[in-house]
């Protein structure tokens, strides 16, 4: 592994990652259609002692990261998630796998195969099926 590829391990991915409080806020928003900062604050205050301004800052940061949409009605700001939880996770996993497979192909593939071999033979069989299917498509092209 060259020096440039090792350096990439420290900053995998370009999409916004979530800190612990951001994750809690997003979970609240994913579990509701539309929320205000007060809604998030009231929910989190049941578990933790946090300042309203802290929650306001976190929600604004998530909005600036593009993870939340904002709707204003009078003096009230309403927030919704710009993507579902599963879309967010899929996007992050896809980006990380792309980086790993581009810069660390052999160890990444070896680890996946080893992991599938240990956990579930059905997963390994599914991986083999997908590979065979892709090879058929490539031959046709």
Paired tokens of 95: 């980006």
What is the model's pLDDT at position 117? 78
Check if the beta carbon of residue 26 is closer than 8 Å to that of residue 81.
yes
Domain coordinates in residue numbering, the chain: 18-81, 85-140
pLDDT tens track for 123-133: 878 888 988 99
SS3 27: helix
Tokens of 22: 């951001």
Please identify, in words, the CATH class of the domain defined by 18-81.
mainly alpha
pLDDT digits (tens, 9 = 90+) for 68-105: 999 999 999 999 999 999 999 888 888 888 888 888 88
The two three-digit tokens of residue 72, written as one number: 């204003």
- pTM score > 0.95 for this model? no
């Amino acid at each position: 592994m060259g020096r440039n590829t090792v350096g990439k391990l420290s900053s995998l991915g370009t999409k916004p990652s979530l800190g612990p409080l951001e994750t809690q806020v997003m979970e609240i928003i994913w579990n509701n259609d539309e929320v205000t900062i007060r809604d998030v604050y009231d929910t989190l205050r049941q578990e933790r002692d946090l300042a309203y301004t802290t929650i306001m800052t976190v929600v604004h940061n998530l909005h600036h990261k593009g993870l939340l949409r904002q709707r204003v009605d009078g003096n009230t700001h309403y927030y919704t998630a710009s993507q579902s939880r599963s879309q967010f996770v899929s996007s992050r996993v896809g980006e990380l796998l792309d980086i790993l497979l581009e810069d660390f192909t052999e160890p990444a593939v070896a680890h996946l195969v080893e992991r599938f071999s240990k956990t579930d033979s059905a997963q390994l069989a599914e991986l083999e099926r997908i590979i065979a299917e892709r090879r058929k498509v490539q031959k046709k092209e």
